[in-house]
Structure 1
Amino acid sequence: MRAVLVRFALALVAFAMLVAPVAAQPDPSRRIGVTVADTGAPGYRFEQLRIDSTDGQRHYRVRVAVPTRDAPGQGFPVAYLLDGNAALMEVDAALLARLADAPRPPVIAFIGYDNDLRIDPDNRAFDYTPRRPGGDDAQRDPIGERRNGGADAFLGLIQQTIAPRVEAMAKVDPHARALWGHSYGGVFVLHALFTRPDAFDVYAAADPSLWWGSGYLLKEEASMKAGARPNVRLWVGEGAQADDARRPLPGRDPAAVQAMREARASVPPDATAQLAQRLRERGLPVALTTLPGMSHGQTLGASLPLLLEEIAGASP
């Protein structure tokens, strides 16, 4: 199965290299446009939720893809995807059709912000990062003036408000819930794993920004609760990252670029691989997949079909 997934990833790389240059970071000004949630897909229907944060400062649009067929006996698996607007742009009708024909098509909740941005950098910097010691002054992003520290409140919102409404739309398997995130979203997924390991059954992080907070997540890892043994899925890009780190970034504040490079230097280049090994030694089922030639930004779209097809039991 692993060989099949790697071959699929290599095919994605070849396509990406043909149509677009490698980009180190996603373009925060890019708009979502028309997606499969607007045009529809065989085997799925789309529902939509609008939800506010508990403090009323952030507003979410959750688009939910629900299989139209009867649920299997134990119910559908369900996948909660962060950066929902960006994730929705990477899921097309062909992928949903494959999932619909799989043994266990998932309910897919795309948790995005209620705007037309592909990536909302300010809101995600707050929602996806845990609070660090040091009071409010410590809750500043390592690479800018964005606020950090809202992960626990956001995780509570997912568990207590978003998930119940999503799971009321179809019969779901309470033992087949997945949480996926990319970059800072990967920080959130791992924070959830380390602090609430029984909240989900699959924790999936694509190129998680382990350098955030000078490796703060690695401290959380050390105090992870024992007992729960969820599946962990990790993806990392390989082949473009070194060049990305050296490439000038036109229009970016040089101080912010330097801060980014210093933050990344706070953990070793293979920090994710080392994390995977330590989690295996704890007894957790961990799969680490390397996506050759892919930049950090490209791992977002490449990891999604791999996760969704795996939890659906789709044939290669």
Structure 2
Amino acid sequence: MLDPTSPWTPFQPQRQWMRPLETPAGRRYRVAVSLPDGPPPPDGWTSLTVLDGHRLFLAVAATASALATRPEKTGVRPLAVIGVFHDETQGSVEDARALDFTDTPCPEPDWTRPSGGAEAFRRFLVEQAWPAATQAAPLDGDRRALIGHSLGGLFVLETLARRPDLFARWISLSPSLWWRTPAVDNADDRLLLGYGEGETGRDMRRRIEAWAAEAGGEGHVPRLRMAAGADHGSAPFALIPEALRHASGA
């Protein structure tokens, strides 16, 4: 704990804002927005919505800001980053993730966390999170992307299968295909599928590679990227630049 009389002060990155939101059912979230410097394009900013904001938002936002300064070199154009956070004050974040990111019960009989609330979470994104973000900045509704990791990656695939109209670009990192293997018949190159070289738990790497080979059918091939040397926890951070290029339309 810092001495309150020291010259240290709380640090807040510039051009980032956050607000709380509550659903009609009483579920609480926070939504953060990180905006590029300068005026927005005529149609608004391209945007990337980041699930698991407590883990990934700051890393994605900082990398987006740094790489967008040289888009001709990095392939990352300026874009707004929207983070969706579970509110820690209402209980376990891991319980909240398991509920919000899954459409079906867990296949493992000893699983104790809640599940099956993904449709309600989709309504929250569409009816509350996205409108709140558009109040903070002009955003292009035709150029928005979604990124999720692990159970969040499974949510991305399930949402692509059920509501392909919601986002123009999709990024699923290390999706939890051990939970369920969704049938996605529109998994073309709008989808970036990423994983770590060292993801051996629950046969993750083999499952993801097999799903990518079969997804979408003939003529529909997702982009597949492997992070060399990365495990399940580090893979999303290693793949952030690739994810940002994908969200930018590169």
Q: TM-score, normalised by structure 2?
A: 0.82
Matches within 5 A, 1:1-316: 38-41=11-14, 45-56=15-26, 58-91=27-60, 93=62, 95-100=64-69, 102=71, 104-115=77-88, 120-132=93-105, 144-212=111-179, 216=180, 218=181, 220-221=182-183, 224=184, 231-238=190-197, 240-242=198-200, 245=201, 264=202, 269-279=205-215, 281-284=217-220, 286-312=222-248
- Relative to its length, the structure with more helix (as a share) is 1
CA distance in 1, matches of 2:78, 2:243: 12
CA distance in 2, matches of 1:225, 1:188: 16
Unaligned runs of 5+ residues in structure 2 are 1-9
Residue-by-residue CA offset, 1:178-198 (whole Å, 9 max, x unaligned): 111000101111110111111
Q: TM-score, normalised by structure 1?
A: 0.66
The answer to whether the Cα contact below 8 Å between 1:106 and 1:312 also exists between their aligned partners in 2 is yes
The answer to whether the Cα contact below 8 Å between 1:99 and 1:308 also exists between their aligned partners in 2 is no
Task: Tell me the matched-pair count.
Answer: 236
Change (3 A) 1:50 1:282: farther
Unaligned runs of 5+ residues in structure 1 are 1-36, 133-138, 246-263
The answer to whether the Cα contact below 8 Å between 1:237 and 1:299 also exists between their aligned partners in 2 is yes
The answer to whether the Cα contact below 8 Å between 1:83 and 1:110 also exists between their aligned partners in 2 is yes
Instruction: Name the amino acid aligned to 1:39.
Output: Q
RMSD: 2.9
> Cα offset for 1:235?
0.6
> Cα offset for 1:306?
2.1
> Cα offset for 1:140?
7.9
Instruction: Name the amino acid aligned to 1:160.
Output: E
The answer to whether the Cα contact below 8 Å between 1:129 and 1:184 also exists between their aligned partners in 2 is yes
> Cα offset for 1:273?
1.7
Residue-by-residue CA offset, 1:115-158 (whole Å, 9 max, x unaligned): 38xx92111010111135xxxxxx68665311100001001110
> Cα offset for 1:229?
5.8
Percent of pairs with identical residues: 30
Return the structure number with greater relative CO, CA threshold 8 A, min gap 6: 1
CA distance in 1, matches of 2:133, 2:143: 14
The answer to whether the Cα contact below 8 Å between 1:235 and 1:290 also exists between their aligned partners in 2 is yes
> Cα offset for 1:70?
1.3
CA distance in 2, matches of 1:241, 1:285: 22
The answer to whether the Cα contact below 8 Å between 2:63 and 2:240 also exists between their aligned partners in 1 is no
CA distance in 2, matches of 1:182, 1:94: 17
CA distance in 1, matches of 2:60, 2:140: 22
